Structures are given as C-alpha cells and as structure tokens.
Chains A and B, each alone.
Chain A
C-alpha cells in the first residue's frame, strides 16, 4: 500500500510539473535568466559587436555622470509619476464613486467613461498629435496658437494629461468593483449612527477600499515609471529632452543611439527597478500606516 501510495505521489508530481511546464520554461527564460543576465550586463560594456567586457561598477558611474540622466530623465520621470499617479487615482476614484450611485443612464456613462481605455497607446498618441498640432482642433476650439508638442514648456503636460485621460477608465472599473464589494449593511449601520455623506465617504468607504487603493497606486507607480509608448510616438523624448524619461533613455541607449550601449542601458534598468521597488515599499508603508483602522 505504501509503495503504491508513493508511486501515486511521484506520478502526481510529474503530472504537476508537466502542467506547469509551459509557464515554467517561459518564466525561466524570460524572467529568471533575463533578470540574471540584465544584472550581469549592467557590470559590462557591450555594443553587440564585441563580447561584453566586464567593467564592474564603471557603467553605473557612467550613468550617474550622464547629464541626460541626471538633469533630464531622472527629474522628468519623478515629475511624471508625482503628477500622473495622484491625479489618475483621485479622478478614477471619483468616477467610480459616481458610477456607484443610483443614477439614470448609469450603464451608459460607465461604458462611455471606459472608451478612452479601449484605444491603444499608439492610436491615442497619433490622435493627440493631430489634436494638439499648431493648426489642430484644440487650438481651433480654444482660439489659441500654441505649438503644444514642440514647446518644452507644454509637451510633457500634454502627454501627462493624455495618459491620465486614457488610464482613468480602467482604474475606474477596478475601483468600482472594490466599491461594490463593500457590504450595504455597513452603510446602513453608519446611517443609523447618523453619519452624513462626507463622513461615510472618509470613515467607511476609503478605509474599506484601502487594499484596492494600494493596488491602483502600485500599478500606477510601476506603469508610470516605465512610460514609453506615448513618448516614443509623440515627441521621441524631445523637444530639448523635456520629455525624456528613464525608460525612453534605456531604449535610446540600447537600441537607438549610433553607438549602442547595452551595458549602460542595463545599469539604468537595474537602477530603475531599485527605484520602483523603493517607492512601492514606501507607498505601502504610507497607505497602510494612514488610519489605524486598517481592517486587514
């Protein structure tokens, strides 16, 4: 009996591994080996023509001495995250809260609000290039003559606004699902205790939503730190590098520059990963620390 039990266990284990094998193989190649190789490359100088040369921390020093990183990409990326993440989180929370009310045409509004998120990053960028062109319809409607995407003072804000606009639909649906998970009996209890609208919102809805808020902010932070598509299509990092972000710089060094710098780009990718990790841990502390009534 024990022997056959063991044989069954072994065959279960083999079956288990066969079931996960497609994922496990791809995961090993494109996540584990890739991550290890990225760290290795970050200590080398590599231009694709000659084998990578080990130079230790030299490529990190080169990144940190690069003006394009220190003066442009680093501050630009932080500026982008600090502006886009709070606005898109609050906006989508407000939209979700509105969609959670008893109102007429609720499904209609919900569908319409999600539309900007259906459009792909490239297509919405192509549309916004044309809307914000010098003779584009934005200037026509507002009676302005600003060259939005060629002006270093405005280009980055157009991209930020566009991305807030397109992400809010997706985030709204995530918040809405979280709102609908809150049991009505809690609201009823609050009403019996005499809580008014704002009190209910700040003392019940927000604390109950904390896990969802954490998720939306985390996804927002990770996504915003890696913003690329819209920048590639709309400005290619310009004008005057005013929209160059870290991910765009990684792409530029690794794939676009005339002298390819894969090692230096990898070092920057590692730095970016550490930044994202640090910020995620920090914001987890903030969200979990705010309000001692955390229910989880």
Chain B
C-alpha cells in the first residue's frame, strides 16, 4: 500500500533498474520465509513416510525408501493412538460448545441487560484478562483434584468437599475451560455494536429474554460465534500444560500429552512420533483452510482489545 508504490520512479529518483533489483530482493526474502515456514511440516511428512531405521539417514528431501508402516503402527499396534485422538476430539469439542454458549450469554447480558454491579464485574473481567495463568495453576489443580482442604469442610455431620475430585477425568480438563474472560469480552463488544431492533421486535411479540436470546440473538450472531469457536477449539486442541497436570493414565491422555509420553517410552520410534504428530496438525490445518476468513478475523480480533 505504501512503500512499494512510493518507490515507483519519479523525476530525480533512483532509476528503474534499481527499483527492479529492490523488488527482486523483496520477493526473494518473502520466498525464503515461505520456504522456512513450510519446512518443518514438510520434513515431518517426509520422515513419517520413511522406515524407522532410516529416520536420520539421507535422503532428507523425499521419502526414500517409502513406507506406510509408521501409520500402520499407529493405527494397529498402538491402540492408544486412536484413543488419544478421540479424547482430544471429545474434550476440544465439549470445551468449545460450552465456552461459546456461556461467553455469548454473558456477553449479551453485559451489553444489553441492566443488573447491579454490572460495571464492577465487567472491570473485574478486564483485569482478569491481564492475570498470568500460572498464578492460579496450583489452586486450580487442587480444586479440580484433591480439594483446597483435604477431607473437606466439616459442618456438623456434613462434610463439604473443596475439590471436584476430577483428576484423570476428561471433565477435569473441560470444566475450567468452559468459560473465559476474553471470550466474554469479545462477545460483549460484538453485541454492543449490534442493532437492537430485531430483538426489540421479538420482545414486543412477547418473547422473554431467554426466548429472544436463543431464537433471535444466537442465530444472527453465527459468524461471531464461529470466530470465537475456532479460536477456542484451536486453544483446546493444542493445550498442553493443564491436561498434563490433570490426566494421569495413558488411556485418558489427549493427543499432545500422548505424543510427549510416547516419545519418552519409545524414543527409538521417532518416525512413529512424527507420523502421530500429523494427527494433531492435520485436523487443525484442514479447519484453518476451510475457515481461513474467520480464522484470520478471530486472530485479528484478539488485537482490537486496545483499539
């Protein structure tokens, strides 16, 4: 938009040849970075198609000798792999559905409904977006797992647990991810900028808030929900630290945890590890290409926080 057009020849400026050279260098640099960006995935694909024994031997540019045995190993010998993929799918989709719904609900309320302490709560939400996650890591772990207070709180005969006892359960990964401050913020901004007329018409017709929300508001904010959903799914699908703490037995691992564990157990089978890693990357790539427009918008929207 700017620099290239201003380098076009004008009286008294650099001759056209120099301009061509500059342009050439510019494209060469772009091309170089593009090659670098593809390289890791390309090499991964090549090596996943070579026998385990050839993992470190040339040629490195193409899969010779060619084999599909690594993929067979994954799908047939190690029954854990398909389980990990399933666990990842179930956990990520569940988190996404809950988070999109809950964030839309809260965002709608912050944008449209009057209730006491609204501004205070919204400011609290803004502050919490800046809070580093690591500070709540240990207490969150205790809450999901053994409880803040071992044995719970005694109230006469009643024992109140202070933890969910969800260690090693998919719900232990899902529950803390079901809502998040940024999602609520994003939906609030969206509904604030959204015309009220349709809703008001629906309310006139006697739909309550809930009816209006589910029948009118949710359907017309599809695009925004998809944007938030994609961002959430990517985060959940790739998430590592929290599932690492919560999930304990290999049967319950998600794919990232499983891959890391598998590498530790069978470090000589690195080609299998890389083949398995493609099961983590490919679905994300497909989703990225299918929804590229929304994806780019979702990432761009994270930056409009301040603007």
Contact = CB atoms under 8 A, between A and B. Distances in A.
Interface of A: 9, 12-13, 15-17, 19-20, 22-24, 26-27, 29-31, 33-35, 37-38, 41, 48, 51, 95, 97-98, 100-103, 109-116, 118-124, 126-131, 133, 135-137, 140-141, 165, 169-170, 173-179, 181, 184, 187, 191, 196-197, 200-201, 205, 211-212, 214-216, 218-219, 222, 225-226, 228-229, 232-233, 247, 250-251, 254-255, 262, 265-266, 269-270, 272-273, 276, 280
A123 B278 CA distance: 8
Contacts of A27: 124-125, 128, 179, 181
B1 A187 contact: yes
Contacts of A35: 131, 135-136, 139
Contacts of A127: 40, 43-44, 274, 277
Given A113-B34, A127-B40, 18 more contacts: A16-B115, A19-B109, A19-B213, A20-B106, A23-B103, A23-B179, A26-B176, A38-B138, A110-B296, A115-B41, A118-B234, A121-B256, A177-B300, A178-B303, A215-B306, A218-B130, A228-B240, A232-B260
B134 to A, nearest CB: 5
Contacts of A225: 132
A126 B146 CA distance: 32
Q: Kindly name the residue among A38, A191, A201 whose own CB sees the greatest number of chain B CB atoms within 10 A.
A: A38
Interface of B: 1-7, 26-27, 30, 33-34, 36-38, 40-41, 43-44, 47, 55-56, 58, 60, 98, 101-103, 105-106, 108-110, 113-116, 118, 121, 124-125, 128, 130-143, 146, 148-150, 175-176, 178-179, 181, 184, 208-210, 213, 234, 237-238, 240-241, 244-245, 256-257, 259-260, 263, 270, 273-274, 277, 280-281, 284-285, 288-289, 292, 296, 299-307
A60 B127 CA distance: 25
B60 A140 contact: yes
A120 B240 CA distance: 9
Contacts of A265: 138
A40 B170 CA distance: 29
B142 A37 contact: yes
Q: Kindly name the residue among B138, B208, B241, B302 whose own CB sees the greatest number of chain A CB atoms within 10 A.
A: B138
Contacts of A16: 109, 113-115, 118
A122 B281 contact: no
Given A123-B256, A137-B43, A233-B260, A19 B106 contact: yes
B307 A178 contact: yes
Contacts of A201: 2-3
24 contacts: A13-B115, A15-B209, A16-B113, A16-B114, A16-B118, A19-B105, A27-B125, A29-B143, A30-B176, A98-B30, A120-B256, A121-B256, A123-B280, A123-B281, A124-B40, A140-B58, A177-B299, A177-B304, A197-B3, A214-B306, A215-B305, A218-B130, A250-B137, A251-B241
Given A133-B56, A187-B1, A215 B303 contact: yes
Nearest to B114: A12
B288 A131 contact: no
Contacts of B178: 22, 26
A158 B167 CA distance: 34
Interface of A is mostly: helix
Contacts of B27: 103
A22 B187 CA distance: 15
Contacts of B38: 112, 115
Contacts of B134: 226, 228, 247, 250, 269, 272-273
A140 B110 CA distance: 57
A253 B46 CA distance: 39
A128 B244 CA distance: 20
A109 B34 contact: yes
Nearest to A254: B138
B303 A123 contact: no
A8 B26 CA distance: 64
Contacts of B142: 37
B138 A269 contact: yes
A248 to B, nearest CB: 10
Contacts of B175: 26
